[in-house]
Structure 1
Amino acid sequence: MTTLKITDLQVSIEADGVKKPILKGVDLTINQGEIHAVMGPNGSGKSTLAYTIAGHPRYHVDGGTIELDGEDVLAMSVDERARAGLFLAMQYPVEIPGVTVANFLRTAKTAIDGEAPAIRTWGPTLKKAMTDLKMDPAFAARNVNEGFSGGEKKRHEIVQLELLKPRFAVLDETDSGLDVDALKIVSEGVNRAHADTGLGILLITHYTRILRYIKPDFVHVFVDGKIAEEGGPELAERLESEGYDRYLTPTA
């Protein structure tokens, strides 16, 4: 079974010449096919975890390991991580002027697979993926995310997920900025990818509403750069009613 294993991960960033610790010893293991939800208040380190897994250069790993089937992820470049099967759906997808969605996706698929997809089959495959996500296939001719609404950007992220077929996906607040209809459509896309390929998912969110559509096997509560509590779906339900106050209030 394919496994993504994070052990005692410690990460900092540099701000105004001062080193600021963000992650303070995170342990988390995700097996293929599992869905893990990471929840917590703002500033608790959830997005830092996502970007560290992906290899963002702003984040400095001060200790600990990330391993994919025993291979050292931290020793890999960003593109090597992608080819190894790691995928990040960003909280704020960026615009790429001058690069069309169709060219971007075909180039990414070629880089991941090591060979270009056949043009004869690629067009219909792309069109189906976009149609399934309720995206107008005409968006394939537009520049990546340029002029897209927030919901269109998030749908495009899931189109990428379905086409690139990674082994593990980190979804960083994919639900932010989505109305109810868009949330359902995006969730359906994630569930399709999970069912089709046995995708392992690390789902980062503040709220439980997306968990009504994407059912987690495990829930982890992040507070101050560490996992404060772990449990099953019932933990998310408790957070819905109680919030995070009990983790943030100092004990006597």
Structure 2
Amino acid sequence: MPTLEIRNLHASVETTDGMKPILHGVNLSIGDGEIHAIMGPNGSGKSTTAYALAGHPKYRITEGQVFLDGEEITDMTPDERAQAGLFLAMQYPVEVPGVSVTNFLRTAKTAIDGEAPKLREWTKRVREATEALKVSPDFVKRDLNVGFSGGEKKRTEVLQMELLEPKVAILDETDSGLDVDALRVVSEGVNRVHERTGNSILLITHYSRILRYVKPDFVHVFAEGKIVLTGGPELADELEERGYDEYIEA
């Protein structure tokens, strides 16, 4: 049984002109412990897929089904999907003034697990995770994403994943805006969680550079709201070299 199964997914996004259809029949099965990468041109539906799966209120599933560990989550609220084991690392993390990183993380962990983590063990885990991501101990005392650089925001997303330990992590262009050093640190964090928990990952990206660090089992090409081609890891390099046009036309 796939860990995450998407069947004939159609979704629309809320705009000033009403609901606009974006996804037109996405089918994808991600097995236990597999890493799948989605690549494609701008406007092809990659991020819409991520938000629709996570339950973003502006992205409405109009047809199809989504299953997590065999349980249908299509009509679940975002928090119910998170409790079921789904996690989204956002491309543009939101700033939350007045809420510290550490309070946010502990509140999220409590909500997902149904009980608060023991303080001493939790403090140790947070310290170890921040050290691994090469941020200062004071980092978690700051307001969530407020005044953070692009690299710090992406580190915070990976920090959440490391502490929440989701069954399926959706990473929406986690590599965007990162320099080489930050990309390496973030990728190491993704791999560390994957190796420790055996989770499944759906990684959305424009470029193959993160895939040199986070090795996918499968690469999918998105175009016009659906998957038009699937291949192995080598497909990412071909896309980087040749672009998308010939694959989309084919």
TM-score tier, shorter chain, comes to over 0.9
Partner of 2:201: 201
What corresponds to 1:229 in structure 2? 229
Per-residue Cα deviation, 1:8-36 (whole angstroms, up to 9, x for no partner): 00011232334321000000011120000
2:110 aligns with 110
Aligned-pair RMSD on alpha carbons? Answer: 1.2
167-176 vs 231-240, which moves further: 231-240
8 Å CA contact 2:97–2:144 kept in 1: the answer is: yes
CA distance in 1, matches of 2:144, 2:241: 39
Aligned partner of 1:163 in structure 2 is: 163
Q: Tell me, in whole angstroms, the C-alpha distance in 1 between the residues paired with 2:138 and 2:14.
A: 42
What's 1:142 paired with?
142
2:3 is the alignment partner of 1:7: no
Q: 1:2 to 1:163 in 2, by over 3 A?
A: farther
Q: How does 1:15-164 map to 2 (within 5 A)?
A: 15-164=15-164
Percent identity over the alignment is 64
> Aligned AA for 2:58?
R
Equivalent position of 1:219 in the other structure: 219
- TM-score by length of structure 2 reads 0.97
Instruction: Give the residue type in structure 2 aligned to 1:148.
Output: F
- Aligned-pair CA distance for 1:228: 1.0
1:127-180 C-alpha deviation (Å, 9 max, x unpaired): 110110011110111100111100000001001000000000000000000000
Aligned residues of 2:2 and 2:29 also touching (Cα < 8 A): no
In structure 1, the gaps of 5 or more residues are none
Rounded Cα–Cα distance in structure 2 between residues aligned with 1:142 and 1:167: 28
Contact 1:33 1:201 in 2 (8 A): yes
Number of residue pairs aligned between Structure 1 and Structure 2: 250
CA shift, 1:208, in A, is 0.3
| Equivalent residue, structure 2, for 1:177 | 177
